[in-house]
Amino acid sequence: MIRNILENSIKTALWELKIDKSNPVINLEHPEDLSHGDYSTNIAMVLAKQVAQNPRELAEKIVAEIKERLPKEISKIEVAGPGFINFYLSPEFFVLQNKEILKVGKKFGLNKNLKGERTIIEYTDPNPFKEFHIGHLVPNSIGESVATILEANGAKVMRACYQGDLGLHIAKNIWAILKDNSIKDFQKKTLNEKVNYLGKMYAKGAEVYENPQGNEKKEIEELNKKIYEKSEKEINKIYEWGRKVSLEYFDSIYKVLGTKFDRLFFESETQELGRQIVEKNIGKVFEKSNGAIIFKGENYGLHTRVFINSEGIPTYEAKDLGLAKKKYDFYHYDKSLIVTGNEQKEYTKVMLKAMSFVFPEFAEKTKVITNGFLSLSSGKMSSRTGKVVPATSLITDTENRVIEKMTARDINEKEKKEIAQKIAVGALKYSILKQVNGKDIVFDFDKSLSFEGDSGPYLQYSYARAKSILRKAKEERVKSRFDPSQIKSQFDWASINILEKLLYRFPEIVERAGNEYSPHYIATYLIELASSFNSFYATGKIVDKKDAESSYKVALTEAFSIVLKNGLNLLGIQAPEKM
RNA sequence: GCCCUUGUAGUUCAAUGGAUAGAACAGAGCUCUUCUAAGGCUUUGAUGUAGGUUCGAUUCCUGCCAGGGGCACCA
C-alpha cells in the first residue's frame, strides 16, 4: 500500500538525518482539507523538542532528504502550518489505482493481515420463547458486520449465537400455555400465528409473576424445576414445541437480515459444564457464601457475583464459563469476540476476571464488544400491547413506507417488494452501524425513512444510479478505460479528483475497521464516497460517445460501483441494481 | 454510596493529540429538453462547566453539572 511506501520514505530520511534513535511511530493521516495534500505527517513537530530544533526547519530538512529518493507515486511534498509535511500523490498513481480496482473487483479492499487467525464471534443471542425485538437488531448488525470485516482482513470466522433455552422466562410462558390450554389448536397454524401465541402467553406469564393474585409465583418456580428435570411428558412436549417454533421464527428473521450462524449454542448445553468448572475451583477461585457459590470481584475492584445459587443451580455466570470451554472445544479459536449490550459491560468484566483464573488462556483471547440501546424517537410506531417492539414489525413498517415511495418507479410488483425489503433492512442496519460501537442509538422513524443524506438508502440509491449509468454505457458501447494520456484534461475536474482521492483509501479503511472492530469507519467513508460520486454525476453527462473523456468517466463510475458494493457488503447491506 | 459510561449546530451523528471542528436533517435560496431530483449547488448554526498537562486538547488528567448503565442468588 501507498501508506507503507510513504512511511518507509520518512523513516529513511530520519535515519539519514541520524534522528531515528527512538524509532518514532510515523503518524500519517489524510488531511481533512484536500488542499493540504493526500497524506500528512506531524513527525517533525513530534521530534522537534527531542532534537531541539524548530519544527518547521526540521520539517524542511526531512523534506529535502525525502526528495533525494522521491517515490514515483508522489508528485509534490511541502511543509505547511506549524510543521506538517504534506504529500501529494501523482496523477499516475490514481490511474494505476483505478485500474487495480477494475482488475480485482470484488476483492478490492481485502487484505491478509489476519491470515490464519481463527475467530469466533457471538452475537444477537435472542432467547427462545421470547420476542425477537428491535434490541436484537443492534448486536446482530454489529456482529454480522464485524464478522465480515474480519474475513476481509483474512481471518477465519465462525459465527455463533448463544441462546437461553432454560430459565424462568420459559416457565412463565409454559405456565400460561398450560392454563390457556388452546395450544392444540395451534399445531396447524402458520409460523406467525404460533409466534404471536407464544408472545401473548409470555406476556401473560410475566405479568402474573410480577403481580400474583395467589400462588402463581410459586407455581411458576416449581414448573421451572420440572422443565429443568424433564420430569413430565406433557410439559416436555410443550417445551419442545415452543423451542422449535422460536428457532424457526428466528431463522426466518436471520434470513431477512442476512445472517447465517455456523453454530447455535444453548444454555442447556453449557449449564452442567459450567457447574463442574465452578465446583472444581471452590476454595481456589470461588467461595461459599450464604449457601451460594460466589466470585469475589471486590478483591479486584469489581463487584461480587453469584455463580451457583443457593438452590444449587448454576447462574448465567457459571454457564458463561462452560460456554467459553464449549466454544474452544468446538473451534480452537485464537480470538473470541462477544457482542453484547452495554448493560452487560460490568458483568462481563467480573466473568472474565473469574475466567482468567479458571481458563487464563481463554480469558486472554476473549474480547467484549458492547452495543448501545436502540430506541425509537417518535411515537409513530404503531403502539403494541407490550413494551418491546418486535423486529419484524419495525422491518415491515419500514418496507411499506419504501413501497409507497417506489410507486413512481417502473419496476414490477414482485421485484419492488424484494427491493423494498433490502432497502428497509439497509436503512435499519445503516442507522445502527454508522455510530461508534457502544453508543445508544435513536432510530428516528421518519428521518431514516426519508432516505435523505446520511442513510443506507442514500448509499443504495447511489449504487443503483451508478449501475444505471453502466447499463447505458453498455448499450451505447462506451467502454471503461483508464488511459494515462487522458490525465491532463481530466485533471481540471475537481469532482473527479475528489472521487479518485477517496477510492484508493478503501483498503486502509477496511484495515482500520478490522483492527478496531468498528464498522462505523466503513459507513462514514461510504457516505463521503457516495457524496463525491453524486457531485461528479451532477457536473455533466458521463456516457457520451462524442466525448473523448467519456470512457474515463465510465471507468471511474465502474470503480466507484465496485468499491461501494464491497463496502456495503462489509456492512451487511445489500445493493440492489435498481430502485 | 461505589464503579462504568456519555455530554459536539434546533435534531441525529463524525473527527488515530494537529491546520479553518466535518456531515446529514430541519430553516433560507437556487437546480430536472440530460445516464434514477431518494440527487446536486449556495447559505445560517456547535465542543456542558472550571482548571491542569502539551508547541498544540472535542480527544489525555482532576473537580463540578447533567443523562444512561451496573453493584450476590435474573439473563
pLDDT tens digits for range A166-178: 888 999 999 999 9
3-state secondary structure of A286: strand
Share of chain A above pLDDT 90, in %: 73
Q: Which nucleotide is nearest to A530 (CA to C1')?
A: B39
Average pLDDT, chain A: 91
Which domains does chain A show, CATH number per domain? 2-89 (3.30.1360.70), 271-331+346-371 (no CATH), 411-571 (1.10.730.10)
Given a cut of 70, whether residue A387 has pLDDT beyond it is: no
Share of chain A above pLDDT 70, in %: 95
pLDDT band, residue A384 (cuts 50/70/90):
very low
Given a cut of 60, whether residue A208 has pLDDT beyond it is: yes
Distance, angstroms, CA A530 to C1' B23?
Answer: 12
Distance, angstroms, CA A138 to C1' B37?
Answer: 32
What local confidence, expressed as pLDDT, does residue A489 receive? 53
CB A430 within 8 A of CB A443: no
Phi first, then psi, for residue A456 (nearest 5°) are -60, -50
Given a cut of 90, whether residue A273 has pLDDT beyond it is: yes
Q: List protein-proximal bases of chain B (any atom < 7 A from a CB).
A: 3-6, 11-26, 34-41, 55-56, 68-75
- The answer to whether strand B lies under 7 Å from the CB of residue A312 is no
For the purposes of burial, counting CB atoms within 10 Å of the CB of A433, is it exposed (0-12), middle (13-18) or buried (19 or more)?
Answer: buried
Give the residue nearest to nucleotide B21 (CA to C1').
A32
The type of residue at A543 is V
Distance CA A531, CA A452 (A): 11
- The answer to whether strand B lies under 7 Å from the CB of residue A33 is yes
Complex ipTM value: 0.96
Distance, angstroms, CA A405 to C1' B3?
Answer: 49
pLDDT tens digits for range A422-432: 999 999 999 99
Distance CA A315, CA A322 (A): 11
- The answer to whether strand B lies under 7 Å from the CB of residue A484 is no
Roughly what angle, to the nearest 10 degrees, separates helices A168-180 and A233-257?
A: 110
Cα pseudo-dihedral A312, A163, A433, A159, rounded to 10: 110
CB A123 within 8 A of CB A139: yes
- Using only the alpha carbons of chain A, give its radius of gyration: 29
Phi first, then psi, for residue A88 (nearest 5°) are -115, 125
Compute the average pLDDT of residues A65-74. 93
Highest mean pLDDT among A7-11, A364-368, A400-404: A364-368
Given a cut of 60, whether residue A108 has pLDDT beyond it is: yes
pLDDT tens digits for range A545-575: 988 889 999 999 999 999 999 999 999 999 9
Compute the average pLDDT of residues A284-289. 96
